[in-house]
Amino acid sequence: MKITDVRTFVVGNPPPSFGGTWFLFVKLTTDTGVVGYGEAYNSTISPQIMRQIVEDVAGRWLIGEDPHHIEKFFRRAYSSGFSQRPDPTLMGAVSALEMACWDIIGKEAGKPVYELLGGRVHERLRSYTYIYPKTELGETSAIYWDAEASAARAAEYVGEGYTAVKFDPVAPYTSFDPRQLSLEQLDLGEKFVKLVREAVGSKADLLFGTHGQMTPASAVRLAKRLEPYDPLWLEEPVPPDMPENMGYVQQHTSIPIASGERLTTKYEFQRLLVNRAANILQMNLGRVGGLLEAKKIAGMAETFHAQVAPHLYCGPLVGAANIQLATCSPNFLILECIQGFGGFHAEILKKPLRWEEGYVIPPTEPGLGVELDEEVAERHAYTGHELHLGMGRDPLPL
């Protein structure tokens, strides 16, 4: 079996665009007619440039190769241009293509990918969602900084079956972070946790999600305020480039630290573990280097008694890959999903991912267990150049 063709789809994510402005999907085809799909999670460059990178990596290292040879593909791509170091843009392309290879491998074997990466461990997967505005009622993004509205929304999610909700009231984040939070921001963070805890009681865990906005000292100040409300985690309190600083935060709070959405490859996650910087690893399967790389990271985490909670802020093919990893990982904790994988996340697939009362049910179909609806993808082709995600360009006023 040889890979003979690659095709990319840049798909606009219609409003409310939960999961990002656009998704980048890839399709690999073999000489036996087997098709595999994957997705890149990339927020550093234009999608039109990123699709060229995906196609270049495929043409250079995959076309004409056997899709089973995952290790060979990874090492060749990782060493591209005499680099041999974590590169989030390159690894976004590698992740999408590696994911598509596993989709082909599973289909060829007639097995879900999780059965080929150690076998099914979990029958269902606990999930969480961000607290999103109810756009059908005209709510806006202001809910992200409205503690009362977020608490009410959290109670609704718990009513749907969720046992955990996430929020980030110390946003916005800018290119000039980390910063020392103001007293007003510290007050707001504490207010959020207090009101959401009162709204959900002990029926749900609280996931305090930040995006590296704080200095280590500021993160410790915030953590001390949050500890009485017992959140399950404090997410990426400081920027991801210095795990030693994240380790400092962990040493000064009882709240577990979670991190990893901006990291790629086992080499960066190893630094989290050896610096005791995070108890919960949040690899994104569209960036980390693919399914096998993520499985290696999950195995490393086991030796530290750390857990994995795959990250998702992109499309449902990464969501499907996350499910495969979670299903076969003994140290799986919880899975991020975007409001039960409904809306456009369901429409873009021929058969949606299965979410029931707070849990994701792993598919039994071979490969990733989902198929991209190419007609829907083409109908929503994105031709713009906006980034998938962005940060504020200027410092916040002091």
- Percent of the chain exceeding pLDDT 90 equals 92
pLDDT digits (tens, 9 = 90+) for 26-59: 999 999 999 999 999 987 899 999 999 999 999 9
CB contact set of 249 (below 8 Å; sequence gap of 6+): 216, 219, 220, 223, 234, 237, 238, 257, 277
Q: Which residues of 366-380 are buried (b: 16+ CB within 10 A; e: fewer)?
A: bbbbbbbebeebeeb
What stretch of H or E contains 91? helix 88-109
Which band of pLDDT confidence, cut at 50, 70 and 90, is reported for residue 122? very high
> Looking at the structure, do residues 139 and 91 belong to the same domain, yes or no?
no
- Going by their DSSP bridges, the two strands 359-360 and 355-356 should be labelled as antiparallel
Which pLDDT belongs to residue 42? 83
Q: At 163, which CATH number?
A: 3.20.20.120
Domain that holds residue 277: 115-367
Residues 31 and 69 both lie in one domain: yes
CATH of the domain at 82: 3.30.390.10
CB 293 within 8 A of CB 74: yes
Residue-wise pLDDT for 77-120, tens only, equals 999 999 999 999 999 999 999 999 999 999 999 999 999 999 99
**How far apart (Å, rounded) are the C-alpha atoms in residues 309 and 321?**
13
Residue 369 is predicted with a pLDDT of 98
**Shared domain check, 53 and 177:** no
> What pLDDT, on the 0 to 100 scale, is given for residue 141?
78
295: in domain: yes
Tokens of 198: 């009162």
Asked whether residue 171 falls in the same domain as residue 286, the answer is yes
Burial class, 83, CB count within 10 angstroms (exposed 0-12 / middle 13-18 / buried 19+): exposed
- DSSP per-residue string spanning 228-251: GG--SEEE--S-TT-HHHHHHHHH
Same domain, residue pair 88 and 227: no
- Using an 8 Å Cβ cutoff, are 132 and 104 in contact? no
244 and 220 within one domain: yes
Q: Do 196 and 286 belong to one domain?
A: yes
Nearest to 279 by CA among 311, 232, 216: 232
User: CB under 8 Å to 53, separation ≥6 — which residues?
Assistant: 45, 89, 90, 92, 93
pLDDT value of residue 171: 79
Answer whether residue 155 is part of any domain.
Answer: yes
Whether the ω angle into residue 239 lies within 30 degrees of 0, i.e. cis, is: no
129 and 45 within one domain: no
pLDDT for 137 equals 59
- Residue 377 belongs to a domain: no
How many domains is the chain built from? Answer: 2
Same domain, residue pair 123 and 210: yes
Asked whether residue 375 carries a pLDDT value surpassing 70, the answer given is yes
Are residue 57 and residue 135 in the same domain, yes or no?
no
21/150 same-domain check: no
Question: 59 - beta bridge partners?
Answer: none
> CB of 353 within 8 A of CB of 9?
no
Does 221 lie in the same domain as 322? yes
**Residue 393 belongs to a domain:** no
Q: Looking at the domain assignment, is residue 162 inside a domain? A: yes
Q: Would residue 274 count as lying in a domain?
A: yes
